[in-house]
Amino acid sequence: MGNELYFEDFHLGQKFQSHGSVKVTAADIKEFGEKYDPQPFHLDETAGENSFFGGLAASGWLTAAIVMRMRVETIRVAGGMIGAGVEEIRWTKPVRPGDSLHTDTEVVGVRQSNKRPNFGVVTIQTLTLNQREEIVMRSRVNFLAPLRSAKK
């Protein structure tokens, strides 16, 4: 693919916005909750209303999974986005049924990998926002990007 990015294509301050948004439904929240995070406020509206969240709320891990998909679709790293660690993840507001999520990402670090000479490490800060432009999640992650010179 001609639009794939290599380490040399990344620079400090570079910004990426997700292509469109992802609408989260009550069914998405409950299905993920049942499978991976079976807490009452992720499974049932009444339990959610009587909880800290005051309503059905998505698991933070569902939000993180949605954001991962948006990152991969937005930042097309040659060979795929290989995770190299999460420095921070903060859930700042609950995600509710009907919320539409989108992301704003900024490159905040670029460096050669000490262990893998054919790769560089890119650090990004991602803000996940709902349709009201409220930040629902903030994360800072590292990924490996191949050097163009290492291309086969």
Place of tokens 């800060």: 125
What crossing angle do the helices spanning 60-74 and 26-36 adopt, rounded to 10°? 110
Q: What are the CA-CA distances from residue 109 to residues 7, 39, 90, 139, 141 (Å)? A: 11, 36, 19, 14, 10
Please give the pLDDT value at position 70: 96
Number of domains in the chain: 1
Digit-coded pLDDT (tens) for 1-24: 458 999 999 999 999 999 999 999
- For residue 146, being part of any structural domain is answered with yes
Residue 43: inside a domain = no
Residue-range definition of the domain harbouring residue 71: 7-23+59-150
Q: Which stretch of DSSP H or E encloses residue 30? A: helix 26-36
Q: What is the CATH number of the domain that holds 95?
A: 3.10.129.10
Residue 151 has what pLDDT?
67
Dist CA 48 CA 114 (whole Å): 47
Asked, for residue 37, whether it belongs to a domain, the answer is no
Q: Does the reported pTM lie above 0.85?
A: yes
Q: 40 lies in a domain?
A: no
The predicted pLDDT at position 152 comes to 57
pLDDT of residue 87: 96
Per-residue pLDDT of the chain in tens (152 residues, 90 and over written 9): 458 999 999 999 999 999 999 999 999 999 999 999 999 999 999 999 999 999 999 999 999 999 999 999 999 999 999 999 999 999 999 999 999 999 999 999 999 998 999 999 999 999 999 999 999 999 999 999 999 987 65
Confidence at residue 1, expressed as pLDDT on a 0 to 100 scale: 45
Question: What's the pLDDT score for residue 149?
Answer: 85
